[in-house]
Structure 1
C-alpha cells in the first residue's frame, strides 16, 4: 500500500441508537478511547451492510444513482486505506515497542491490511461495472457481502485481542488512535476532507456521543458541524433513504 494513501458489536463502539441511561447533571461525559479506530470500524460495518441492498435496487436507466453509489464506494475504500495507514505507521510501531509479545499479531494484522486493500481494489472494479449495468448488480452485491464477512473477521481480531491490551499501553488522554489523529492522517494523505470524513464517521452515532466528539475538535469544526451533517444526510439519502425510513424498515 503506498504510504501516501494513508471507507458482533465492537467493544465500546459508539452506540448506533439511544443511550441505555441518561447522564446526570453532575457527571462528566467520558471520552471515547481510541475513537478514531472504533468509529471507522462501526462506519465500515454500517455501509458494507447497506451498500449491497442499495446496489440491488438500481434499475435500468438509473445512471445517476449508480454513479452516486460508485462515488460512495470509492469514499469507503479511501477511508479504509487511511485507517490502515493510521494503524500501520502510527499505532502498531508504538504497541510493538511497549508490548513486544504482540509483535506476531501486529505483523499478521499489517499483512492482512495489504490483502484487504487488494480485495477492495478488485471489488471496486466490479462496483464500477455494476454502477453502469443494472444486469450485473446481484453478483456484485454478493461480492461485497463476501468482502464484508472477510473484513469482519479482521475487525473482531483487532477488537478482541488488541484493543484491550492497547488500553494498558496508552494513557486515557493519549492521541494515539483518536479521532483527531485520524483526521490528521487524512489531511497528510490528501484523503477526504474533515467535513466529509466526520459526517461519515458520525452517521448514526448516538447524539450525546457526537456532541462529545465534536466538542473535542477545534472551534471551526464545532461551528460548521450542523451544516456538514445536514449536507451529508441530504447527499446520501437518495442512496438508502432517510434515517426515518430506516427506523420504519427495522420495526
Structure 2
C-alpha cells in the first residue's frame, strides 16, 4: 500500500459536551460514549475476534486439504462447508466496517479518508478473490489430485489478507480508539451478532462458537455478559454441539473453550439462523 495513503499526524478527537445534571463538567465525549469506566472487554472485540478466527483457520485449512484422502468424501464436504462459512463471515465483517464503522470514522477523523477509501476498495477485491478460490476449493474437495495447488492458492490469499488486517490493526484501530468512546457498542461482539441476525448468512450460534474458539474462559465469560440473555443461556449447548460436529474435521478439542486443533463453526446449524451443514439445531 502506498505510504502516502496512511496519514501520519496525530489529530485531536472531535468531542461533544454534555450539559445538565448528568454533565461531567468540562469533560467532552467522543462519538457514542455512554460511560467513562474501563471497558470490560478489549476495544472492538467483534473486529478483533473475526481477525483472529480468520488467521487461525486460514493457517490450518491448507494442510487439512492436503491431507484429504480420495475416500474421505464427508471430510471433503465438511472442508468446503467450512470455507463457505468463513467466506460468509468475512463478507459480513466487511459490511459491518463499510456501512457502520467507516462512515463514523470519516466524519470525526477526516484525515483518514484516503486510508478508508483504500480499505473499502480492498474489501471488494478480497471478496472477489475469496469467491474465485471457492471455485477451486469446490473442485479440490471432490478431486484430491488438485488439493496441493488449491492449498497453495489458499496460502497466497491468506498472506494477502494478513497485509490488510495488519493495516487495519496498526493504522486504523488506534485512531478509532480516540474517535469511538469506550462505552460504545460499535465494533463490539454484540453489534456483530445483531448484524448476523439481520443478515442472510451464518447463524448467531455458528458464528459465536467459531469466534470464541481458543479464547480464554475468563474472557469468554466477560464477552457473553455483554450479549443478551438468550445467547448466554444457550451458549453451553451451542459450544458442546460445535465441538461434537467439528471433531471429525479438526480433531478432538482439549480444554473448556478450545485450543490448537479444535473445531470451527462451519455452518453447523447450531441454533436459530441459517446453517450450512444440516447437522442439527439447539433443539436436537
Q: State TM-score, norm by structure 2.
A: 0.75
Contact 2:39 2:183 in 1 (8 A): no
Contact 1:29 1:212 in 2 (8 A): no
* Structure 2 counterpart of 1:232: 242
* Structure 2 counterpart of 1:197: 207
1:190 offset after TM fit, Å? 1.6
Runs (5+) with no aligned partner, structure 2 = 1-37, 262-284
Q: Residue deviations 1:19-66, cap 9 Å, x none?
A: xxxxxxxxx983221011000000000000011111111101111100
* Structure 2 counterpart of 1:70: 80
Which structure is richer in relative contact order (CA contacts within 8 A, separation 6 or more)? Answer: 1
Cα separation, 2, equivalents of 1:113 and 1:29: 29
Q: Residue deviations 1:211-245, cap 9 Å, x none?
A: 11011111111111011011111111111212349
Cα separation, 1, equivalents of 2:175 and 2:54: 23
Contact 2:224 2:231 in 1 (8 A): yes
Runs (5+) with no aligned partner, structure 1 = 1-27
1:50 paired with 2:55, answer no
Cα separation, 2, equivalents of 1:191 and 1:33: 25
**Structure ranking higher in helix proportion:** 1
Cα separation, 2, equivalents of 1:247 and 1:139: 25
* Structure 1 counterpart of 2:220: 210
Alpha-carbon RMSD across the aligned residues, in angstroms, is: 1.5
The correspondence for 2:127, drawn from 117, 127, 146, is 117
Moved over 6 A (4+): none
